[in-house]
Structure 1
Amino acid sequence: MPGQADIEPLLDAEQINALLAEAYPELNSGTRTYEVTDVFAGGCTVRLNADARHLRPGGTVSGPTLFTLADIGGYACVLSHGGPDAMSVTTNLNINFVRKAGPGPLDGHCRILKLGRNLMVFDIDIVAGPDGRTVAHATGTYSIPPKQG
């Protein structure tokens, strides 16, 4: 299913990373653990540079860590395409864990399925490893606050 590729972004990846650093300074604590690597018409790509602190017993990236990456993907999409209002909030997020992921970079390819005045619906495919296999897939909805003025 194609996303809403006709929606042009208002902000680029570096602008979103700057907004994340300002609104959530504890997210990365001076590192680039979670980052937006690309913004394009109708979507974005986010990355998690997973290390030992993101692993559960058995050496795989934990579910809450993957969930966080999915949520950041949706947030990056709503900020980049809906405008830089940090008050947008998650109203729903469903995730399916498909296979294990070890430490290293994980990329989340996020696409906007619908962007309205009040809600944005998105999905994200989280991939890892040299073959880029899906490790998790999520769908979610963000609530967009009313424009002031």
Structure 2
Amino acid sequence: MFGCLVNIPSLRELNLSNNNLKDEGVKMLCNAFGLPACQLEKLNVASCGVTLVRGFHFNSILKELDISRNHLGDSDDWADVLFCLSSLETLRLSDCKLTEKCCGVLVKALSSNLTNLKELDLSGNDLGDRGVKTLYMGLTSRCCSLERLL
């Protein structure tokens, strides 16, 4: 199915939220849409049963990514994905079971690669006091274009 969608050159936005794609389905999606010919700018895979993002390769021109309501947890694997998304302007990670451990990784990604990010949604996660402090310290001490933090 994803291979067919890639052949639509005008496709810029794809919403697959609330589908039971699971890890393997999203991985196949990423492999298809990671091709150079793909012009996809917005991808929504919220509530798709994703738990592991190791090996996901999103297209580097992606501007908006919503992976909310997936159980990503504190695995460092999803952080690797962030370093490939230099054009990203909106990242939604609400209700992903993230904790304070992920905050340092987010700050590092924001300061080194996600310099175009305008909106970051971390609502519904248990970041704790130390996690929020890490975010605050990182966002105020680094060159960051973030305009909206949820």
TM class, shorter-length: under 0.3
- Normalised by the length of structure 2, the TM-score is 0.25
Give the number of the structure whose residues are more often strand, by fraction: 1
- Normalised by the length of structure 1, the TM-score is 0.25
- Structure scoring higher RCO (CA < 8 A, sep ≥ 6) equals 1
Give the number of the structure whose residues are more often helix, by fraction: 2
